[in-house]
Structure 1
Amino acid sequence: MSQNLLIVGAGEFADIAYEYFTVDSPYTVVGFAVEKDYLTEDEKFGLPVVALEDSVTRFDPAKTEAHVAITSTQLNRVRERLIKKTQDCGYTLANFISPRAMVWRTAKLGVNVFIFENNVVQHGVQIGDGCVLWSGNHVGHQSVIGDYCFLSSHVVISGYCKIGARCFLGVNSTLADSVTIGADIFVGMAAVINKSFEDAGLILNGHPAEASRVSAYRYFKLKAPT
């Protein structure tokens, strides 16, 4: 039986989410929602676009689930904030798992997870809330990915790794076995990580990769958590 779905967001990722949920899931997208200050259109794909603050009057949370389709803006903080705001509105958050991905039965997923095609998620993996795995990644057995992380494409995470919250892993980056990286780390494309790093690192491409002297907070002009 089809379940109604509200997509939170109206940008490129929301367009992609609409396509994927429509073609490859049991959900029926019924509308889009954005924060009131960013409401610039009233229709997308023939469906209504509403203010998130007023969405419950149009889309009853008892009959409609939601998915927040936002990319890695502000090192994933915008997606994190909107996920919490959508939950505060009373919506259950839906996952999208491509039928062309391999997610092993012992893997544990949080809410509002989006896993594209050709991902491999192995035995015992844990993926937190609000994570996005773009196409073609490998997540090795028993690895743990924290909340609100974004894996771009063709990322290799070896076994027993731990990744902190809100990290961004660039295209073709690689983590060796049992590596731990802290929260708010930005990993550049093709970086080869063979040792652990603390929070807020800006890890540029290299083999082996090293952290920049500039923190991810400074680079993205973000405030450190208090």
Structure 2
Amino acid sequence: MPSDLKSPTPLLMLGARAYSEVLLDMFECLSDQYSFDALVENQDRANCDTTVGDLPVIWHEDVASYLPTHKMVCALGTTLRNKWIEECEAMGFSFATLVHPSSVVSKRTALSDGVIIDAACVVAGYSTLGPHSRLGRRVSLGHHTKIGAYTTIHPGAVISGNCNIGSQVVLGSGTVVIDGVTIGDGAVTAAGTIVNKDIPPRVLAAGNPASIKREDYGPR
């Protein structure tokens, strides 16, 4: 093998539930860049007696030995994933950024550590995706838009240009956000919501146009 060819970066995946299988399936096309070696469980130690996608499941207290060689990815859908991620970062682990090759991402947009972009997304230029934010399948993200840390944008959402989406926000499938809108930290939109004005933090918004259905709701 030529010496200038790099071996795939070995990864541990936080989480051993259904979404872990989805990520393994989605990103097996990146096997030349990354190798998924094990999943990490932190709730039920009995799950460590099982496998997910033929990969072993290890207990979260046993990951230290992987630190010199492995990076991590997070397969938790909740925006409250920040606590476990921050614990792992405090141990010294870094997180890989995964972009499906079918997605188009401007080279002028900044992707932070731990960002995951699923298949068939389009991300315009001069935008920023914060640490551990996530775009589901077929998300369209406009120019000069900021996505905060730990935010999850579900499949088919459309976020226009010059928007400011806070941290730990959840945008439901098919949500449309009009140009220049700000959505506060921890807010949640229901599927199909049309957001044509600013949304305050920690509320549930739904409808066309969006209206506040519940206060003190997020993050989720």
Structure-2-length-normalised TM-score: 0.90
* Contact kept? 2:202, 2:215, Cα under 8 Å: no
Q: 2:208 maps to what in 1? A: 207
Choose from 121, 124, 148 the match for 1:122. Answer: 124
Tell me the secondary structure at the aligned position of residue 150 of structure 2: coil
1:68–1:82 Cα contact (<8 Å) kept: no
The residue aligned with 1:21 is 27
| SS of equivalent to 2:211 | coil
Q: Could you tell me whether the CA contact under 8 Å between 1:111 and 1:129 is conserved in 2? A: yes
The answer to whether the 8 A contact 2:26-2:119 is kept is: no
Q: How many residues align?
A: 211
Kindly indicate whether residue 57 of structure 2 is the aligned counterpart of residue 56 of structure 1. Answer: no
**Compared with structure 1, are the counterparts of its residues 89 and 38 closer, same or farther at alpha carbon in structure 2 (3 Å cutoff)?**
farther
What is the CA-CA distance between 1:208 and the residue it aligns to?
A: 1.1
Q: Residue 213 of structure 1: CA displacement? A: 4.3
C-alpha deviation, 1:28, in angstroms: 0.8
Spell out, residue by residue over 1:89-132, the C-alpha distance to the aligned partner (whole angstroms, 9 max, x if none).
Answer: 22110111000000100110111111111111100110011111
Deviation digits for residues 165-201 of structure 1 (CA, Å, limit 9, x no counterpart):
1010011111111000110001011111111121112
- For residues 139 and 188 of structure 1, the distance between their equivalents in structure 2, rounded to whole angstroms, comes to 18
**CA apart distance, 1:139:** 0.5
Alignment-derived partner of residue 5 in structure 1: 11
Q: What's the counterpart of residue 3 of structure 2?
A: none
Matched residue SS, 1:216: coil
Name the counterpart of 1:30.
Answer: 37
| 2:23 alignment partner, SS class | helix
Counterpart of 1:71 in 2: which secondary structure?
coil
Counterpart residue number, 2:165: 163
Q: Would the alpha carbon gap of residues 192 and 46 (structure 1) be closer, same or farther in structure 2, given more than 3 Å must change?
A: closer
Contact 2:103 2:121 survives alignment (8 Å): yes
**Residue 69 (structure 1) aligns with:** 75
For the Cα contact (< 8 Å) 1:130–1:148, is it kept in 2? yes
Does the CA contact (< 8 Å) of 1:163 and 1:181 recur in 2? yes
Query: Which AA in structure 2 matches 1:52?
Result: H
Alignment equivalent of 2:134, drawn from 126, 132, 135: 132
**Distance (Å, rounded) in 1 between the aligned partners of 2:91 and 2:74:** 13
TM-score (norm 1): 0.88
CA distance in 2, matches of 1:133, 1:22: 17
Query: Which amino acid in 2 is paired with 1:99?
Result: P
Offset from partner CA, 1:75-97 (integer Å, 9 cap, x none): x11x1112112212221101110
Q: Aligned partners of 2:108, 2:15: CA distance in 1, in Å? A: 31
The 4+ residue runs of structure 1 with deviation greater than 6 A are: none
Note the aligned Cα RMSD (angstroms). Answer: 1.6
Q: In the aligned structure 1, how far is the partner of 2:199 from the partner of 2:94?
A: 34
